[in-house]
Chains A and B, each alone.
Chain A
Amino acid sequence: MRKGVLSWMALGILLAFAAFTGSAFGGELQQKLTEESVLEQVLKRGTLRVGVSTFVPWAMQDKTGKLIGFEIDVATRLAKDTGVKVEFVPTKWAGIIPALLTGKFDVIIGGMGILPRRNLKVNFTIPYDVTGMSIVANKDLAGNFKGLEDFNRPDVVLALRLGATPVAAARKFMPKARLRKFDDESQAVQELLNGKAHGVIASAPMPAFQALKYPDKLFLPIQGTFTKEPIGFALRKGDVDTLNFFNNWITVVQAEGWLQERKHYWFETREWEDQVK
């Protein structure tokens, strides 16, 4: 009996202690979270490290080896508005999420589509752009194909960049076709030109550019895009401050019309082409 009372008292004291330290810890935690947020670290370091992957016309090297493209403009302006320098970390697409998670850079600004499966691993900002998949096909192999349903056959081979978005689009619209996945789009396009694939699925506007470049070899079976994908910045989980800052930055530059203007320059004009080749 006596023992029981003592134990209860001990438990009570422990609980009170826990509550006290808990609340104190809560306050500390909040401060710690703020201090440890990517945003604070970026300001302290004076540089924003951005993970990018070469992907025409989102991010690519110009003739001098300098990075140019839509994403590069976005990241440069973001860093300028934050008051820090920007530092690009060119990374292979296949390893870009692990590299973000292991802290090789602060944020991915690389035309990454917001997908629920991806979102389980990383946080996404609100979309700063909407893109879609389009398809370019080989004239010899798929010359008589009229629409997407013609590609939905087991003897059709589609080449695409490894990663979730083009694969998801192919699975949805041509589940029967065989997929051949590559590290980057140039390899997928080469497979198509070599006549080993019927079509290439990729984010607009690349397929259209390729059809223009090889008019006697490639064509567009459908005009425009057949999916719609919101694109966001990806950052590590558990960082509300940075997410909030990025979200509001996107809202501001969108309201200004700046994003739309940049997008028009990179996606609808070809004025930048002689900077690359």
Chain B
Amino acid sequence: MQRKKLKIKPLDIVMALLILGVAVYTAHRITGEIRYSWEWRSLPQYLLRYDAEAEAWVPNVLLKGLFMTIRLSLWGTVLATLIGTVMGLCRVSQSLFYRLLGRTYVELVRNTPPLVLIFIFYYFLSGQVMWALGVDAFVGSLSGGTRVFLELFFAPPSMFSAFVSALITLAVFEGAYITEIVRAGVQSIEKGIWEAAYALGLSRWQQLRYVVLPLATRRILPPLAGQFISTIKDSAIVSVISIQELTFRGMELMSATYLIFEVWITITALYFILTLSLSLAVERLEIYLRRSEA
């Protein structure tokens, strides 16, 4: 692929000036008309603060929220991929029962608003599921070392049960989309390959396991990474059940400090930086896969 040389034309400068103008005008209106008193000075301390006791810079509420968002999206995608793979294989199964199962799951989740799903899960189901899994008792019985581990990779022990229910909700929701990705991946494999595998005397499961899935995985990987980015964005929705991720932390901060615009703008920037850098990474991945395939 040849990289085009960047050349700035007059029209580009006019466009850039126009965009800048709109931004300045908006800022001016907010300051002038609404008489919003900007207080950007007090914002950085909510990202990083100096801890006098530990004598070090430590992340404050907003960065902590961002980390929580990342953890939630990461584990959410892992769990959703598991659900999605199982359900995706159900969708392409030869058994009518499994196909119906997969179809019901996908249609049920995709045709209901995520917000409603989250409320239903959190208030009605999560209590029962958490109790059945014994999450609270499990967390309570942990020793000091495991607690630190838990806090680093998941959530603080006190928030763990809420974290798990948010995780399950998010995974069930995203899993439906991954199901479709897996189904499309498997169905995109040419019939001849199935037939070739069949001709070798492989059973249906062996055909899937050794021939079709390895091929399909390559095709699935880019949309799967894209779904991970969607998960990051969708994770903002669990703020309604008071999970301490970026959006919730930001809203808490706003109600304490009334720095409304500053906090929203910062949150937007944080999400944008996170997802944009991932988008670029996915683009790289796609190019890499295409090259290695050729």
Q: Mark A38-62, 1 if CB is under 8 A from B, else 0.
A: 0000000101010000111000110
CA–CA, A91 and B251, complex, Å: 11
| Residue B2 lies at the interface, judged by CB distance under 8 Å to chain A | no
A60 partner residues in chain B, CB cutoff 8 A? 255-256
CA–CA, A203 and B35, complex, Å: 24
Q: Binding site of B, secondary structure by majority: helix, strand, loop or mixed? A: helix
Q: Which of B199-253 contact A (CB under 8 A)?
A: 239-242, 244, 248, 251-253
User: How close is B250's CB to chain A, nearest CB, in angstroms?
Assistant: 11
Contacting pair B64 A65 (CB below 8 A): yes
| Residue A19 lies at the interface, judged by CB distance under 8 Å to chain B | no
Picked from A64, A102, A194, the residue with its CB within 8 Å of the CB of B34 is A194
Contacting pair B158 A87 (CB below 8 A): yes
User: How close is A49's CB to chain B, nearest CB, in angstroms?
Assistant: 8
CA–CA, A49 and B140, complex, Å: 14
Q: Which of B244-287 contact A (CB under 8 A)?
A: 244, 248, 251-260
Q: Which of A92-123 contact B (CB under 8 A)?
A: 92, 94-95, 98-99, 102-104
| Residue A127 lies at the interface, judged by CB distance under 8 Å to chain B | no
CA–CA, A63 and B48, complex, Å: 10
| Residue B181 lies at the interface, judged by CB distance under 8 Å to chain A | no
Contacting pair B242 A55 (CB below 8 A): no
CA–CA, A206 and B158, complex, Å: 31
Q: Number of B residues contacting the other chain (C-beta, 8 Å)?
A: 36
CA–CA, A64 and B60, complex, Å: 6
CA–CA, A58 and B253, complex, Å: 14
| Residue B123 lies at the interface, judged by CB distance under 8 Å to chain A | yes
Contacting pair A187 B158 (CB below 8 A): no
Interface Cβ pair total, 8 Å cutoff: 81
Contacting pair B34 A193 (CB below 8 A): yes
Contacting pair B162 A190 (CB below 8 A): no
| Closest Cβ neighbor of A54 among chain B residues | B255
Q: Which of B128-170 contact A (CB under 8 A)?
A: 140, 158, 162
Q: Which of B111-141 contact A (CB under 8 A)?
A: 123-124, 127, 140
Contacting pair A99 B260 (CB below 8 A): no
| Residue A214 lies at the interface, judged by CB distance under 8 Å to chain B | yes
Q: Number of A residues contacting the other chain (C-beta, 8 Å)?
A: 39
User: How close is A270's CB to chain B, nearest CB, in angstroms?
Assistant: 14
Contacting pair B254 A186 (CB below 8 A): yes
Contacting pair A214 B35 (CB below 8 A): yes
| Residue B94 lies at the interface, judged by CB distance under 8 Å to chain A | no
Picked from A98, A186, A194, the residue with its CB within 8 Å of the CB of B255 is A186
User: How close is A207's CB to chain B, nearest CB, in angstroms?
Assistant: 13
| Residue B49 lies at the interface, judged by CB distance under 8 Å to chain A | yes
Contacting pair A61 B256 (CB below 8 A): yes
Q: Mark A168-212, 1 if CB is under 8 A from B, else 0.
A: 000000000000000111110110011100000000000000000
User: How close is B136's CB to chain A, nearest CB, in angstroms?
Assistant: 9
CA–CA, A95 and B37, complex, Å: 31
CA–CA, A90 and B37, complex, Å: 28
Picked from A61, A91, A190, A276, the residue with its CB within 8 Å of the CB of B242 is A91
Picked from B36, B46, B242, B260, the residue with its CB within 8 Å of the CB of A89 is B242
CA–CA, A213 and B93, complex, Å: 65
Picked from B39, B241, B252, the residue with its CB within 8 Å of the CB of A95 is B241
B158 partner residues in chain A, CB cutoff 8 A? 47, 49, 87, 89
B104 partner residues in chain A, CB cutoff 8 A? none
User: How close is B59's CB to chain A, nearest CB, in angstroms?
Assistant: 9
User: How close is A266's CB to chain B, nearest CB, in angstroms?
Assistant: 13
Picked from A189, A193, A195, A277, the residue with its CB within 8 Å of the CB of B42 is A277
Contacting pair A276 B257 (CB below 8 A): yes
B239 partner residues in chain A, CB cutoff 8 A? 92
Contacting pair B127 A103 (CB below 8 A): yes
| Residue A263 lies at the interface, judged by CB distance under 8 Å to chain B | no
CA–CA, A94 and B239, complex, Å: 12
User: How close is B3's CB to chain A, nearest CB, in angstroms?
Assistant: 45
B127 partner residues in chain A, CB cutoff 8 A? 102-103
| Residue A216 lies at the interface, judged by CB distance under 8 Å to chain B | yes
Known contacts A195-B34, A217-B35, A185 near B255 by CB under 8 Å: yes
Beyond A92-B240, A98-B123, A102-B124, 4 additional pairs, beta carbon < 8 A: A61-B256, A63-B45, A64-B49, A104-B162
Can you list 23 contacts pairing A with B, beta carbon distance less than 8 Å?
A45-B140, A49-B158, A56-B255, A61-B253, A64-B60, A89-B162, A89-B242, A90-B242, A90-B252, A92-B240, A92-B242, A94-B240, A98-B123, A104-B162, A184-B254, A184-B255, A186-B258, A189-B258, A213-B258, A214-B35, A214-B37, A217-B35, A276-B257
Residues of A whose CB lies within 8 Å of any CB of B are 45, 47, 49, 54-56, 60-61, 63-65, 87, 89-92, 94-95, 98-99, 102-104, 183-187, 189-190, 193-195, 213-214, 216-217, 276-277
Residues of B whose CB lies within 8 Å of any CB of A are 33-37, 39, 42, 45-46, 49, 51, 60-61, 64, 123-124, 127, 140, 158, 162, 239-242, 244, 248, 251-260
